[in-house]
A and B are shown apart, each in its own frame.
Chain A
Amino acid sequence: MRFSALKILREGLSGNRGWTPHWRDPAPKAEYDAVIIGGGGHGLSTAYYLAKNHGMTNIAVLEKGYLGGGNVGRNTTIVRANYFLPGNSEFYSHSLKLWEGLEEDLNYNVMHSQRGLINLFHSDGQRDAFARRGNAMINQGDDAVLLDREGVRRMLPYLDFEQGRFPIHGGLYHPRGGTARHDAVAWGYARGADSRGVDLIQNCEVTGIDIEGGRVTGVQTSRGPIRAKKVGIVVAGRSGQVAAMAGMRLPIESHVLQAFVTEGLKPVIDHVVSFGMGHFYISQSDKGGLVFGGDLDFYASYAQRGNLPMVEHVMEAGMTLMPMIGKAKVLRSWGGIMDMTPDGSPIIDRTGVEGLYLDAGWCYGGFKAVPASGWCMAHLMATDRPHEAAAGFRLDRFRDGYGLMDEEGTGAQHNLH
């Protein structure tokens, strides 16, 4: 079933009775060429690109709950390519290019909206750092515009420019940054993978990873054993537990990151605005809700909810930056489980077990990475070699200290990111 304007018109006129399910609900087979553990954004895009780019269609995605029920449905939907360090920069650049062609590729409306992202700065030193970051982005082939205070004022007249603690000196504008509809990304990839023959198996929890002689041979699941030549662990939020089934300890601590949404309002915030010094960022969804968030709660957690001190901190930062939102009522808040690595950058790599691959450690930036993560993980699983855009995301970089990607420059240590 392909979506088109004509199809929507025809269905609208005939009572919408012709729509069919977007994917099958198959029972697991006894054996696959490859199995992906985790039916979130990254797992589904890995399956999609394994089928599309590498012709591997005898594969399955195993999801313990429902598709897209984890972090891909719990984020704040921001898509950007404004990274600085080699290793990160080319990867997120690749991802943004995939985003730009995603709707056509998937024949699915993921509501990708390149409304522009502005990172504010508040001092001369920060200005220099952002100018340097902007140059790195331009060198990577992406877009960046350094705005002075008046430039920011023209775009975001509603900010409090005179605040005493963090007066606004300007901003780094990334015009191609923006947002997307998070659930639709998971659904679009799921539908695309399913239509190429990938089995998407829900309510199927992996309970063990079978390894014989240093080589993966399959998985044990709540729906029976499944043999597989290759297994990919793509379960951000639960990476530690699944990797432990293969006897691995990972350089990951799981933390909770909270997000908030207000009641629907008329259009008021046209861009994504990031106030790093206050730990606050915001955008407005197409439904009208202000979607915003802050920093980690800073303790290990799998609870998918946070505590009030960070709620208060985020609200205060929002009020400091844009007092106009003070009367908007918060409808919901929630938390997601973040795979935090010591240097704040992710992992897409082989493991010590042959045929077992790991895609993890996305910290609080996994959503925008969904297309390229799947693209590169599929390349790794199919060819056994890292994709050049993700070659820096090595699992062993912490052990030998070579190739650490500490984007924030705070040190490659747990609890600093």
Chain B
Amino acid sequence: MGDAVLLDRPDPEAGEAAWDGYLHLRDNPAGVTRDLWHHEAGCGAWLVVTRNTVTHAVEGAELAEAAAREGQA
């Protein structure tokens, strides 16, 4: 469902630039990236998958809930 940057939602009053960065602008790396996947046909969980965009190798996955909590800590 896109870049895991979506877990890092800015403050509502953070201003135009922060929200533009959050909603639209992307690092779009050629290499290792973290993106959000929704296990739609299965348990319904949201996952953060660490993945290589050049080789398609999957390097790891964790529950988005856990990743979001880590991000806040």
Chain A residues contacting B55 (CB-CB under 8 Å) are 303
| Option from B2, B21, B27, B54 in Cβ contact (under 8 Å) with A414 | B2
A295 to chain B, nearest CB (A): 15
Chain B residues contacting A300 (CB-CB under 8 Å) are 2-3, 28, 33, 35, 53
Once the chains bind, are B24 and A254 in contact (CB under 8 Å)?
no
Chain A residues contacting B23 (CB-CB under 8 Å) are 342, 398, 413
Of A93-101, A192-200, A245-253, A268-276, the one touching chain B: A245-253
Proximity string of chain B (1-36) to chain A, C-beta cutoff 8 Å, 1 when within and 0 when not: 111000000000000110011011111111001010
Once the chains bind, are A399 and B54 in contact (CB under 8 Å)?
no
B39 at the binding interface (Cβ < 8 Å): no
A81 to chain B, nearest CB (A): 28
Interface residues, chain A, CB within 8 Å of chain B?
Answer: 238, 240-241, 244, 249-254, 299-303, 307, 342, 398-400, 413-415
B56 at the binding interface (Cβ < 8 Å): yes
Report the 5 A-B pairs with minimum CB-CB distance, sorted nearest first: A240-B28, A251-B24, A249-B25, A398-B24, A399-B20
Interface residues, chain B, CB within 8 Å of chain A?
Answer: 1-3, 16-17, 20-21, 23-30, 33, 35, 51, 53-56
* 11 A-B contacts (beta carbon < 8 Å): A240-B27, A249-B25, A252-B26, A253-B3, A253-B26, A253-B28, A254-B28, A254-B30, A300-B53, A399-B17, A414-B26
Once the chains bind, are A301 and B35 in contact (CB under 8 Å)?
no
A21 to chain B, nearest CB (A): 33
A363 to chain B, nearest CB (A): 14
Once the chains bind, are B16 and A399 in contact (CB under 8 Å)?
yes
| Option from B21, B24, B26, B54 in Cβ contact (under 8 Å) with A303 | B54
A254 to chain B, nearest CB (A): 6
| Option from B2, B3, B27, B53 in Cβ contact (under 8 Å) with A301 | B53
Once the chains bind, are B53 and A251 in contact (CB under 8 Å)?
no
Once the chains bind, are A414 and B28 in contact (CB under 8 Å)?
no
Residue of A nearest to B49 (CB): A299
Tell me the bound Cα distance from A187 to B73 in angstroms.
Answer: 55
Once the chains bind, are A249 and B53 in contact (CB under 8 Å)?
no
Once the chains bind, are A249 and B27 in contact (CB under 8 Å)?
yes
Chain A residues contacting B27 (CB-CB under 8 Å) are 240, 244, 249
B48 to chain A, nearest CB (A): 13
A206 to chain B, nearest CB (A): 15
Tell me the bound Cα distance from A253 to B2 in angstroms.
Answer: 8
| Option from A240, A244, A342 in Cβ contact (under 8 Å) with B24 | A342
| Option from A238, A250, A301 in Cβ contact (under 8 Å) with B26 | A250
